[in-house]
Every structure is written in structure tokens, then in C-alpha cells.
């Protein structure tokens, strides 16, 4: 059985433009707040966390709204088109605004615009992909999204952004908005949402009758009690491993300076590179052994990397930390590729956007909470040594919650499936 890679790559351009935006946002907004408006780090940090706070409430809302939307473009594309255009229009003005209150207002409009289409964009992949293929599909859209982020990183290398360029950020913003709009054009011209969604339903009925529940989808959106329990356990797992992973990514540069007494900038790049290389292989593995087993293996890798990192000191060989971060990157990719498909596996066709919103509620809530909680623990200890133990505990708890999940997995696909020559045309 083969995934329609061409189709999913086209769908992935929605993720491409989202990742491109956030790469530019995370790079420039803290610099503007610090150097242009002379904000202290506490206030700057609160503003930078505001997008996660908005996401907790708005992503489920717009995911559910898109479920109920019907248009010639489709129920997801209309949100992606309007949201992206509004975001670009407001984002392009940020480099030239000198008043902090006007800046904050325009920034809020930008964040609201981005929030309108993130859930619809991610929900589009399961809309057009049969359930057993969604781990592979999620791997592909993550790769396409990563390309968007890497292109914007390249733009930053060509157009230097720093303290000395605060008064001339417009060339960078124009280039980034150009990348985003180009991704939008490719997406709008290539994705045939309504046609592909109908084909997915037909393919499911023909090749995966065990996953086709037309009567249940029409008559009821309610899950059984065991399914609800599994959904809550999956969302709890998502929150816990995001708490562990995000604690490291948000505090590691400071930890490296204070505890390890040297720069480990390369380690985060190695983790990201290892994750990128792992996306497709772990998606394929999940189709062979199932998503739950694959995720549990990834959780073990992530927890082990954080556990061993506890014993790294200023005297340790830097190569050891690089190896551990590569292991963490592989573990994170293994988890990330398969967890979202487990959530939407429980959704009916009419609920995919809502379930996508719930997934992001869990992950975003964790990213709001964990910098505060981990910071408080380190403040109580009087040093940063609890960082890796905290992350290890969070990820280990996620292993326990995931262990009790009974629903949302995919049945392993046999290599001699009737779909071994599955159509890959758009």
C-alpha cells in the first residue's frame, strides 16, 4: 500500500506557510520588543507567550467551525486563504510601527489571523488521507513545514537581522511575506479539497471497510466510554511530553551557559536535523507495528536522552551531549508524527477539525505552563540543575498514560495488501 505522496505534499504547503511565519515571528518579535521598545524580559516573555494562550482557546473553536463550513473551495481552504492574507497584511506593518500600543494591537490582529486557520490547515491532511496512512501523511506535512522554516532561516542569513538592523527590517519582512504568499499560491492552485475528500471516503469504503462507519458518522458523534478514556489519556500524554520537551528547548541555552559553562548551540540544530531525517522512517514503521508501540519507543528514547543528560557537566565531552540531543530528536519525531493521527483516528469525518483543536489545546496548554512550572522549581532549588530531571519525569509520566491507551491505533498494514499499487496521481 502506498501513500499518495504528491497529494499530501500539496496539502503540506499549508503547514509550510505556517512554519515560515512562526520562524520569522520567533526571530524578530523578541528583538523588536527588546531593542525598539526597551521592554524588560519578563514583559517581553509574557507577550511572546500570548500566542500560546490564544491558541488554547481559538484553535479548538476554528477547528470546530471549519467542520461545519461548506464552500466551493472546501471547508478548510477558505480559512487558510482568508487567514493567511489577513496575517500577511498585518504582519508586514510591524517593522515600521514606532508606538508600542499600536504595535501590540497590530500584533494581536496578526496572531488572531494565524489562529483562524492553524487547526483547519492541519485537519486537511486526515480529511484527504485514509486512516491507516495518516502517520505517513503527518510525516510528510511535517517535512514540508520544515522546508518553510528552513527557507526563512536562509532569508535571515542573506538579510541580517539583529540589534543594528532594527530600523530597517522591512526587506526581511517583505521577503518572508513573499515566501508565505508563494506557499499559499502553490497550495490554492494544487489542492482540490472537495474532490480529494470524496476520493478518500470512497477509498476507505473500498479498501478499508473496517474503518468505514457511515451510519455511525451520520447518526452520532459521541464516543464510547472506553474511547473517551483513550482520548483523554492521549491528550494527557501529549501535554506531558510537550511539558518535558518544551522545558528543554526554552531553557537549554541558559542551562548550557550557567551549568555547562560553554555554548551548545550546535546541539539544538543536531536535534532538529535528527528529527527531520526520522520523520518518514518512523511514519513507515508505524504502519508496520502500529502507532502506540512506535510512540512508546519514542518516549523511551526521549526520556533516556534527558535522563543521561542529567549527568553531563562542564567537564564532559561536548560530543556526548550532541549524541544525546540526536537521540532526543529521533524520539521526538517518533512521538510527534504518530500522536496527532491517534487523536483524529477517533474522530468521525464531521469532527476532524474539532479533534485537531483539542490536540493543539493539550500541546499549547503545556507550552504555556511548563516554562512557569520548571522555572519555579529551579528558583526553589536556587540553580538550573532540576531542568533535565523535570523533563525526564514529565516524559516518563507520558509513557505511563500512553501505556493505558486502548483506542486510536492503526492496524499494521500487510505488505501484500491489495493497495500495494495504490494510485499516486493528484
CATH of the domain at 304: 1.20.1250.20
Report if residue 414 sits inside a domain: no
**Using CA of residue 391, residue 393, residue 397, residue 402, what is the dihedral sign?**
positive
Exposure on the CB side of residue 212, measured as CA atoms within 13 A:
10
193 and 241 together in one domain: no
- Grid cell at residue 247: 522545558
Per-residue pLDDT tens listing for the chain (426 residues): 578 889 999 999 999 999 999 888 887 887 888 788 888 766 776 787 788 888 888 888 998 899 888 889 989 999 999 999 999 999 999 999 989 899 999 999 999 999 999 889 988 998 888 888 888 888 899 889 888 888 888 888 788 776 565 667 899 999 999 999 999 999 999 999 999 988 888 887 877 665 555 534 443 457 888 889 999 999 999 999 999 998 887 777 678 777 877 655 567 678 878 888 888 898 888 888 888 999 999 999 999 999 999 998 888 887 888 899 899 999 999 998 889 888 888 877 668 888 888 898 899 899 888 888 888 888 898 888 899 999 999 999 999 999 999 988 766 555 444 444 334 444
Report if residue 326 sits inside a domain: yes
Report if residue 425 sits inside a domain: no
160 and 75 together in one domain: yes
In whole angstroms, what is the distance from residue 132 CA to residue 13 CA? 22
- Grid cell at residue 121: 490547515
204 and 240 together in one domain: no
299 and 189 together in one domain: no
In whole angstroms, what is the distance from residue 354 CA to residue 252 CA? 33
The pLDDT score that the predictor gives to residue 213 is 53
The pLDDT score that the predictor gives to residue 241 is 95
Report if residue 289 sits inside a domain: yes
Report if residue 219 sits inside a domain: no
197 and 230 together in one domain: no
279 and 332 together in one domain: yes
CA-based radius of gyration for the chain: 21
- Grid cell at residue 70: 461548506
The pLDDT score that the predictor gives to residue 41 is 64
The pLDDT score that the predictor gives to residue 218 is 41
In whole angstroms, what is the distance from residue 42 CA to residue 164 CA? 23
**Mind spelling out the 3-state secondary structure of 43-88?**
HHHHHHHHHHHHHHHHHHHHHHHHHCCCCCCCCCHHHHHHHHHHHH
- Grid cell at residue 150: 528552513
pLDDT in tens, 351-400: 888 888 889 889 989 988 888 888 888 889 888 889 999 999 999 999 99
101 and 184 together in one domain: yes
Output the pTM of the full model.
0.79
Report if residue 41 sits inside a domain: yes
Among 144, 179, 210, the domain-final residue is 210
Nearest to 9 by CA among 354, 348, 201, 279: 279
Nearest to 36 by CA among 161, 178, 201: 161
Q: How many domains does the chain have?
A: 2
In whole angstroms, what is the distance from residue 376 CA to residue 247 CA? 12
The pLDDT score that the predictor gives to residue 209 is 66
156 and 119 together in one domain: yes
205 and 228 together in one domain: no
In whole angstroms, what is the distance from residue 170 CA to residue 152 CA? 14
383 and 267 together in one domain: yes
The pLDDT score that the predictor gives to residue 416 is 46
Residues of the domain holding 153: 1-210
201 and 305 together in one domain: no
Exposure on the CB side of residue 33, measured as CA atoms within 13 A:
18
How would you label 382-401 residue by residue, b for 16+ Cβ within 10 Å and e otherwise? eebebbbebbbbbbbbbbeb
Report if residue 266 sits inside a domain: yes
Report if residue 375 sits inside a domain: yes
Q: Which residues contact 29 (CB under 8 A, 6 or more apart)?
A: 47, 48, 94, 107
Backbone angles phi, psi at 348, to 5 degrees: -85, 170
Among 160, 178, 210, the domain-final residue is 210
CA distance readout (Å), 128 to 48, 121, 131, 349, 424: 34, 12, 9, 10, 13
In whole angstroms, what is the distance from residue 181 CA to residue 183 CA? 5
327 and 190 together in one domain: no
The pLDDT score that the predictor gives to residue 412 is 58
Amino acid at each position: 500500500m502506498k501513500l499518495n505522496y504528491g497529494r499530501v505534499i500539496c496539502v503540506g504547503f499549508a503547514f509550510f506557510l505556517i512554519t515560515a511565519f512562526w520562524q520569522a515571528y520567533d526571530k524578530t518579535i523578541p528583538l523588536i520588543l527588546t531593542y525598539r521598545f526597551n521592554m524588560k524580559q519578563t514583559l517581553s516573555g509574557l507577550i511572546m507567550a500570548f500566542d500560546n494562550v490564544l491558541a488554547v482557546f481559538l484553535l479548538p473553536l476554528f477547528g470546530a467551525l471549519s467542520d461545519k463550513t461548506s464552500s466551493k473551495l472546501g471547508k478548510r481552504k477558505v480559512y487558510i486563504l482568508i487567514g493567511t492574507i489577513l496575517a500577511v497584511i498585518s504582519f508586514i506593518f510591524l517593522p515600521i510601527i514606532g508606538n508600542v500600543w499600536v504595535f501590540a494591537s497590530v500584533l494581536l490582529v496578526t496572531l488572531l489571523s494565524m489562529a483562524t486557520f492553524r487547526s483547519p490547515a492541519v485537519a486537511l491532511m486526515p480529511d484527504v488521507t485514509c486512516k491507516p496512512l495518516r502517520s505517513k501523511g503527518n510525516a510528510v506535512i511535517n517535512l514540508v513545514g520544515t522546508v518553510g522554516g528552513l527557507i526563512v532561516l536562509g532569508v535571515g542569513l542573506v538579510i541580517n537581522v539583529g540589534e543594528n538592523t532594527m530600523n530597517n527590517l522591512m526587506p526581511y519582512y517583505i521577503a518572508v511575506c513573499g515566501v508565505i504568499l508563494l506557499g499559499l499560491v502553490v497550495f490554492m492552485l494544487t489542492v482540490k479539497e472537495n474532490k480529494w475528500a470524496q476520493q478518500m471516503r470512497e477509498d476507505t469504503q473500498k479498501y478499508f471497510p473496517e474503518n468505514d462507519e457511515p451510519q455511525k458518522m451520520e447518526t452520532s458523534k459521541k464516543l464510547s466510554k472506553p474511547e473517551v478514556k483513550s482520548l483523554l489519556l492521549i491528550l494527557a500524554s501529549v501535554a506531558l511530553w510537550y511539558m518535558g520537551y518544551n522545558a528543554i528547548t526554552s531553557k537549554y541555552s541558559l542551562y548550557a551557559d550557567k551549568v555547562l559553562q560553554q555554548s551548545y548551540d550546535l546541539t539544538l540544530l543536531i536535534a532538529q536535523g535528527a528529527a527531520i531525517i526520522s520523520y518518514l522512517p518512523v511514519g513507515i514503521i508505524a504502519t508496520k507495528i502500529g502507532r502506540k508501540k512506535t510512540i512508546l519507543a519514542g518516549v523511551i528514547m526521549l526520556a533516556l536522552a534527558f535522563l543521561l543528560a542529567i549527568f553531563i557537566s562542564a567537564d564532559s565531552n561536548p560530543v556526548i551531549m550532541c549524541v544525546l540531543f540526536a537521540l532526543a530528536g529521533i524520539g521526538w519525531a517518533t512521538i510527534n508524527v504518530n500522536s496527532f493521527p491517534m487523536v483524529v483516528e477517533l474522530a468521525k469525518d464531521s469532527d476532524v477539525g474539532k479533534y485537531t483543536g483539542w490536540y493543539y489545546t493539550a500541546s499549547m496548554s503545556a507550552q504555556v505552563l511548563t516554562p512557569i512550572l520548571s522555572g519555579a522549581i529551579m528558583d526553589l532549588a536556587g540553580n538550573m540543575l532540576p531542568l533535565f530531571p523535570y523533563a525526564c519525569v514529565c516524559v516518563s509520566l507520558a509513557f505511563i498514560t500512553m501505556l493505558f491507551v486502548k483506542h486510536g491505533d492503526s492496524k499494521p498494514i500487510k505488505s501484500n495488501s491489495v493497495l500495494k499499487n495504490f494510485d499516486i496521481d493528484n
